[in-house]
Structure formats: C-alpha cells, structure tokens
C-alpha cells in the first residue's frame, strides 16, 4: 500500500514541479519532503474549501438579499 | 593582522559557508564568499538587529576582515560575537529546557518569514542558554527565503527537538541518555517503534513521526520509483509553511512529561532529614563562602531544585550551573531559574559519568571539564551518593571535586545519617573507611581546609576548601 502511495506521490510531484529547486548543505530526507507535500496539500485543500465555502455563502446571501434590494429600490 | 593564532571551533565544520574561530579568548565568525549574498540580504532586512536587541540571538559586530588572517582562509567578512557564560548540549538539558529551545527555534522561524528570511537548518546545538533564557547562536543559518521552498530543516527539527521531547511526553523516558549516545538526535523510525498504539492515534504523532518514518522507509526501499529531481522541486506555499510551523509550535507548547512528575528528589527540598535550624546553618555557611570568594562561575553538583545556587547568586556569585540526575528536580530548577530570571542554568549530569569529549574526532562536543574553568564549587549532600551509592573510593571523590574548582564547599554525610542508612539498607557495608575523619584528612591533603562545621546531630559536616592556599 505504501509502495503504491509513494508511486502516486512521485507522479503527482512530477506534475507539480513548479517550485524553486532547493539546495542546502543539509539533507532534508525524503520522508520529510513527502510529508510536507502531503501536509501542504492538505492545508492547500482546506484553503480551497474555505475559499469556496466563503463564495458559496456569499452566493446564497446575495440570492436571498436580492429581492429585498429590489423592493427597497 | 598580527598576533596569536586563531583556532577553528571543532564543532563548526558542517556548513562550508562559514566557520567559528577563537582567538585570544574572543569568538569570531568567518563568512566566506558563497554566503555573502544571503548574509547581506538578512542583515539589510533588519531582522537580525531586532532579534539581537531583544537578546534572542547572540550579539554580533563586523570587525576588520583581516582579523583572522590566512589561518581562517582570508574570509571577506568577519564578525565578532559576545561570549556565552557556558556552552551546553541538548543531551544535558532538562525536558523544560529542550522544550524552551524548540519553541525559541520555531518562534524565530515564524517571525523570519515576515522578513523573507528562512533558516537553513534546525540543529538543537544552535540554541544555547543564559540562565533559563534560550539564545540562538548560529547566525549563518539565516538566509533569504525563496518563494515556494519547503522546510529543509524539518527532519532535523524532528530528530533533535520533537522526538526527544515526545520520548518523555508520550513514553516517559528522559531523552538525555539516548541523545548523548546519538548526537544527531532520535530518528523518527526508532521512536515510531516504541510508541504505544494509542499514542500513534494523534494526528500530529501520526504525521510527524509515523508517516514521516514510513514514507522515508518506503522511498528508500523503492528508490527507482521515486523521482529525486521532482522531489527537489517540491513547492510549499508560504501560508502552508507558516501553518506547519505554527501548528508544531502549538503542539509542542502543550507537551508535558508523562506522569508529571513524582520523582524521588523533586520534593527533596521539602522532604529530607534536615531540621530548619540545620538548613539555616548550612545556608549561612554557603553564603559566607560565596561572599568571601565571589566566584564568577559556580558549579553546584547535586543542585536539586537550585536552592543553594539561588542563594549563591544572591551572595555575589556571577553565574551558577547546577547539575543533577533527577529529572523532576531539574525541571523544578529550570522553572525557578525562568520565573525568577536567575543566572542559573540546571543541567542533567550523572556525577559518576560526566559528559565526555565526543562526536567527530572526539572534539566536536566537549566533555564537561574541558568546557569551562569554574572558580567555585558546591557539592552538598553529594559525596555519600558517589562513595556509597556508586562505590567510588572516598579519596577519588576528593580528587575529582578539588580538581573541578580552586575553592568550594563540600558536605560530608556520615553513616549515622538516615539518608546514608537508606543507601546501606539492602547491602553489605563494605566501607569501613567511610568516616568524617578519613574524609577530612583526604581533603586536607589536597587543599587547605578553610573552615569546617558540623551542622547536624548525626554529624553532617561542611568543609570549605581552598586548593591554591595549600
């Protein structure tokens, strides 16, 4: 299962390779890098959900308030 | 510049961008060409000045670039740092000190992002202490943050800060012995093996310990399937980077030792065989010694929660380092130093097995005796633990103590005392020579006994010695 997971991750990484190549005297370790990708991915996904949640609320609020706007006009 | 030779610090070899040198007792940092851009950027960001002004990093001043000369490879830039009172290592720190150092590191990283600055590593050895106050010392770790970069020091942070803390917080094992044998810290794979199942069920433990270890293991096992070039291009957005640091900080700030904490010695200051008269007597003796000698660096061996170190500082000692092997006592001592803002630093030490010279070429991390020359010593209620608890001949205990500092106060606890009675309760008394007379003559042959006072009816006796006046 972990094998499939790593394979999947590296495919994902190839598609995602947009960052700057990092050089350091320290070896960051593959496990740490994959984990950060995962955590970053989760944080990114949460942000997207949050963003869309705000848009959804915004959308619902506008639809509700629109008729009232008209009567006020 | 002419003058004496500069000695490269044997612990400063990992990052070729710079090196630390000691010359005429002053500390310099050579910065080489490859690090110059990052250094200029970091300094001009204003972040370092801000940290230095708050005492959160070691202070620095640019000096003439030929200060170190050819010995240092003619660096284009040389800084001078203020000297620390004492250098200590994470395997000597009590839990609370390691935790304070971890939070200090994370706080600096989190704030650095606002200045477009990042840290190139996460070594626990880059944090030192003045009293209980952490101070970051490796200024070459600071460099320009590159948009999208991930946290290079994450694994090192886990091994050198997080995992040792979790070992005590989740399993109840103090980190000191393991860390001392494994200078790079505790590997996530190793910690993962000993964590109980229910402890692994926390999201943070699962991610930073279990998953990190298992990802690393499977990536190593299926090397051909992992595209290293793609991995090196991983990008982490700035908000994700910050959130990673902030979440770790929040988690670590809540960590406490498992079963916090009923150790034998933590309550010793309250529960012992002294009466308050005896304590007053003992305090007066110690205070008189310190007032007379005013030590600039005092070693308090067997410091417990730091009562006598605090007293010594009040009486005029400049800096005190307390050593003990009891974790509860050490955490109490650290808390005292922090809350009362004392120039007192408690460290873990088994007096029968002090920190050795070790690491690369056995010079990277220095042994206790090689690191500083203390000029004052307190060894109260210690000698019986070494002589009877650990079978060290009384004469050798005297040799060791007198060698540690030129002057000091040593307490002798006789067999009649209930505390020694406890040590002998289950074993044969093979110590016919253990007596105050033997001790006095042994100490007297190595140093002048300045004063000697009996402080309990059972015969506890304090000795003030002076090695030089002999």
The three-state secondary structure class of B392 is coil
Residues in B 187-216 with any Cβ partner in A closer than 8 A: 188, 207-208, 211-216
CB–CB of A20 and B156 under 8 A? no
Rg (CA), chain B: 25
Tokens (6 digits) for B402 = 């007198």
CB–CB of A22 and B152 under 8 A? yes
Min distance A24 CA to chain B CA atoms (Å)? 7
pLDDT along chain B (470 residues), means of 10: 70 86 92 93 96 97 88 90 96 98 98 96 97 96 92 96 98 97 97 95 94 89 70 79 95 92 52 75 97 97 96 98 95 95 97 95 92 95 95 95 97 94 90 94 96 94 91
Return d(Cα B47, Cα B66) in angstroms, integer.
27
Residues of B in contact with A19 (CB under 8 A): 148-150, 233-236
Query: What pLDDT, on the 0 to 100 scale, is given for residue B20?
Result: 93
Residues near B136 by beta carbon (within 8 Å), at least 6 away in sequence:
B51, B56, B57, B58, B104, B105, B108, B126, B127
Does the predicted TM-score (pTM) go above 0.90?
A: no
Burial class (CB in 10 A: 0-12, 13-18, 19+), B401: buried
Return d(Cα B440, Cα B438) in angstroms, integer.
6
Residue A36 sits at the chain B interface (C-beta within 8 Å): yes
Q: Look-up: residue for tokens 């229910």?
A: B198
Q: In this predicted model, what pLDDT tens digit does every residue of B92-143 receive, in sequence order?
A: 999 999 999 999 999 999 999 999 999 999 999 999 999 999 999 999 999 9
Residues of B in contact with A24 (CB under 8 A): 120-121, 152
Q: Given CA atoms B277, B345, B326, B391 in this order, what sign does their dihedral have?
A: negative
Question: Nearest residue on chain A to B148, judged by CA atoms?
Answer: A19
Return d(Cα B415, Cα B18) in angstroms, integer.
56
Min distance A45 CA to chain B CA atoms (Å)? 11
Query: What pLDDT, on the 0 to 100 scale, is given for residue A16?
Result: 46
Residue A46 sits at the chain B interface (C-beta within 8 Å): no
Residue A65 sits at the chain B interface (C-beta within 8 Å): no
Question: Which of the two residues, B391 and A6, has the higher pLDDT score?
Answer: B391
Residue A71 sits at the chain B interface (C-beta within 8 Å): no
Min distance A53 CA to chain B CA atoms (Å)? 18
Return d(Cα B120, Cα B145) in angstroms, integer.
9
Contact present, B137 and B130 (Cβ < 8 Å): no
Q: Given CA atoms B42, B45, B50, B53 in this order, what sign does their dihedral have?
A: positive
Return d(Cα B410, Cα B408) in angstroms, integer.
7
User: Residue B22: which H helix or E strand, with range?
Assistant: strand B18-23
Question: Which of the two residues, A24 and B36, has the higher pLDDT score?
Answer: B36
Return d(Cα B168, Cα B387) in angstroms, integer.
30
Contact present, B86 and B37 (Cβ < 8 Å): no
User: Residue B290: which H helix or E strand, with range?
Assistant: helix B276-293
C-alpha distances out from residue B436 to B216, B442, B458, Å: 59, 10, 11
Contact present, B141 and B57 (Cβ < 8 Å): no
Question: Nearest residue on chain B to A44, judged by CA atoms?
Answer: B240
Tell me: ipTM over 0.85.
no
Tokens (6 digits) for A12 = 């994902």
CB–CB of A39 and B244 under 8 A? yes
Return d(Cα B57, Cα B79) in angstroms, integer.
14
Query: What pLDDT, on the 0 to 100 scale, is given for residue A56?
Result: 76
Query: What pLDDT, on the 0 to 100 scale, is given for residue B375?
Result: 95
Q: In this predicted model, what pLDDT tens digit does every residue of B351-379 receive, in sequence order?
A: 999 999 999 999 999 999 899 899 999 99
Backbone φ, ψ for residue B76 (5° rounding): -70, -20
- Parallel, antiparallel or unpaired: strands B448-454 and B133-136: unpaired
């Amino acid at each position: 299962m972990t094998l499939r997971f790593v394979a999947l991750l590296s495919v994902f990484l190839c598609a995602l390779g947009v960052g700057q190549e990092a050089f350091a005297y320290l070896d960051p370790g593959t496990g740490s890098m994959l984990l950060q990708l995962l955590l970053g991915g989760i944080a990114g996904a949460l942000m997207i959900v949050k963003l869309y949640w705000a848009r959804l609320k915004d959308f619902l609020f506008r639809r509700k308030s629109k008729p009232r706007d008209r009567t006020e006009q | 510049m002419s003058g004496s030779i500069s000695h490269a610090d044997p612990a400063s070899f990992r990052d070729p961008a710079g090196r630390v040198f000691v010359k005429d007792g002053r500390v310099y940092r050579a910065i080489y060409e490859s690090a110059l851009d990052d250094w200029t950027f970091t300094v001009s960001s204003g972040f370092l000045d801000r940290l230095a002004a708050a005492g959160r990093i070691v202070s620095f001043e640019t000096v003439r670039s030929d200060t170190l000369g050819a010995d240092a490879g003619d660096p284009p830039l040389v800084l001078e740092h203020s000297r620390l009172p004492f250098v200590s290592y994470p395997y000597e720190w009590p839990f609370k000190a390691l935790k304070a150092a971890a939070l200090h590191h994370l706080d600096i990283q989190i704030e650095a992002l606002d200045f477009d600055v990042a840290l190139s590593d996460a070594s626990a050895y880059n944090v030192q202490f003045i009293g209980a106050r952490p101070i970051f010392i490796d200024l070459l770790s600071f460099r320009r943050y590159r948009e999208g970069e991930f946290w290079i020091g994450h694994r090192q942070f886990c091994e050198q800060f997080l995992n040792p803390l979790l070992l005590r917080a989740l399993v109840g094992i103090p980190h000191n012995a393991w860390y001392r044998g494994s200078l790079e810290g505790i590997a996530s794979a190793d910690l993962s093996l000993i964590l109980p199942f229910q402890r692994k069920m926390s999201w943070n433990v699962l991610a930073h310990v279990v998953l990190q270890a298992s990802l690393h293991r499977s990536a190593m096992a299926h090397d051909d399937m992992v595209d290293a070039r793609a991995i090196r291009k991983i990008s982490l957005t700035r908000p994700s980077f910050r959130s990673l640091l902030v979440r770790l900080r929040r988690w670590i700030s809540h960590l406490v030792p498992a079963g916090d904490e009923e150790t034998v010695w933590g309550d010793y200051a309250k529960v012992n065989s002294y009466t308050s008269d005896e304590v007053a007597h003992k305090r007066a003796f110690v205070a008189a010694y310190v007032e007379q000698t005013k030590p600039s660096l005092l070693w308090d061996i067997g410091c417990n929660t730091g009562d006598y170190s605090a007293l010594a500082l009040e009486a005029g000692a400049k800096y005190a380092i307390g050593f003990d092997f009891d974790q509860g006592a050490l955490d109490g001592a650290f808390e005292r130093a922090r809350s009362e803002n004392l120039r007192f630093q408690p460290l873990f030490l088994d007096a029968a097995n002090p920190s050795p010279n070790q690491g690369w070429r056995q010079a990277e991390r220095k042994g206790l005796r090689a690191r500083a020359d203390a000029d004052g010593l307190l060894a109260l209620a210690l000698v019986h633990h070494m002589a009877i608890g650990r079978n060290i001949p009384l004469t050798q205990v005297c040799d060791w103590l007198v060698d540690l500092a030129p002057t000091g106060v040593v307490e002798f606890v006789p067999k009649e005392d209930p505390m020694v009675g406890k040590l002998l309760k289950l074993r044969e008394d093979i110590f016919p020579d253990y007596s105050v007379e033997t001790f006095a003559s042994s100490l007297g042959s190595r140093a002048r006994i300045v004063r000697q006072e009996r402080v309990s009816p059972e015969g506890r006796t304090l000795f003030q010695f002076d090695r030089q006046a002999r």
